[in-house]
Each structure stands twice: as C-alpha cells, then as structure tokens.
Amino acid sequence: MEIITYPHPTLRYKSKPIKRVDAELLAIVREMFDLMYEANGVGLAANQVDLPIRLFVANLEADPDKGDEMVFINPIVSNPKGSEGDEEGCLSLPTLYGNVMRPKRVRVNAYNLKGEEIRIDIDGLFSRVIQHETDHLDGVLFIDRMSETAKVEVEDELDVFVTDFNSRRETGGIPADEAIVGRLKEWEDKYC
C-alpha cells in the first residue's frame, strides 16, 4: 500500500459506502494510519491509497503517541455554519499549499470500526480535516475549492505533478485507466 498522488484517477473516484468490516479491513486501516504518520499527515482517505471505499482515518496531532486515532466510515457532513479561509495541503499533492474557504462548523455523522454511530458537531482544524477527507471520498481535491486566482499561482506546480505522473505511467509504474477501474470494481464487490 502506498499513497497515490495527483493526477492518479482513483483520486477522482466517488467511493461507495462500506457494508462490512472484516479483519482485512482492520489491517488496511492500521496501514493507513502508519502511512499517514510517515508522511506527517493529520488525515488520509481510502482513495488516497487506491481503495474505492468510503472511509478515512485522522489524528489531529499527526503522532501515534498523541491525540486520538479516529476512523470515519461512510461519513456525511451536514449543517454548515459560517465561513473561514485557511491554508490546506494534501498528502496526494505533497509540497503544494493553498488557501481554501470552507464552512467553519459542520456536523459529521459516520460509523467507527465497531459499527457504532458517531455524531459530532465540530469546528476549527477538526472541521477542516473532516471536510477535506470527506471531499476525497467524493473525488474532490482541495485545489478544486481554491479561488481561481489562488489556483493560477499553483498551476506550474500542478503541471509538474502531471508530467511526473505521465512519465511514471510510461515506464510502467502506474497501470492503464482500464486496469485501475477493474481493480477498484473488485474492491467494491468485496466491501460495498
């Protein structure tokens, strides 16, 4: 398992809800936390590790010895209140940062790994992370939510990601679109 980067097609895939949790899924979640910590991240969505399932992990401290390890399965964000701009980054767009406006406070409903329902009203960094990660599950990246002017400033950096992705694909490091979709369907059949 590894973190895939822009413009990998799985990052644009709208994930389907998860219907069951098994030992393999628990192991996947553990590996996602480990990859997230390695990359110093506070959140990681399943499609960032090339899996089309509706789940993300988060730890606002980005440290396994601190903070809470949270797993959100089938999250739904609602009740947006206020609006706030702040800088965001993404493990699938390393070194790229930009200002994103988002609702300040939201409610999130989800399930944890035990199948228990989570329902919390959140604000600040927590709210931003949950919105960013839920976006991933819908195939949305934070660059999609940047203002047109802010996006112009990162255009060159995005081009570098595209060039790098294309060259890795040419050298066989990344499968063709059809192979990627076929693999995603297999995972969907298993969990969704």
- Residue numbers at the binding site for Zn ion (CB under 5 A): 90
For residue 106, the cross-strand partners are: 122
Rounded to a whole number of angstroms, the minimum distance from the CB of residue 174 to Zn ion is: 19
Q: What is the DSSP letter of 17?
A: P
Q: Which residue is nearest to Zn ion (CB)?
A: 90
Our CB check for Zn ion shows the closer of 90 and 100 to be 90
Catalytic residues: 133
Cα–chain center distance at 31:
14
DSSP string, 18-34: P----HHHHHHHHHHHH
Report the nearest approach of Zn ion to the CB of residue 105 (Å): 20
Give the nearest distance from C-beta 187 to Zn ion in angstroms: 20
Burial 131-161 (b: 16+ CB within 10 A, else e): bbbbbbbebbbbbebbeeeeeeebeeeeeeb
Kind plus residue range of the DSSP H or E element containing 84: strand 84-88
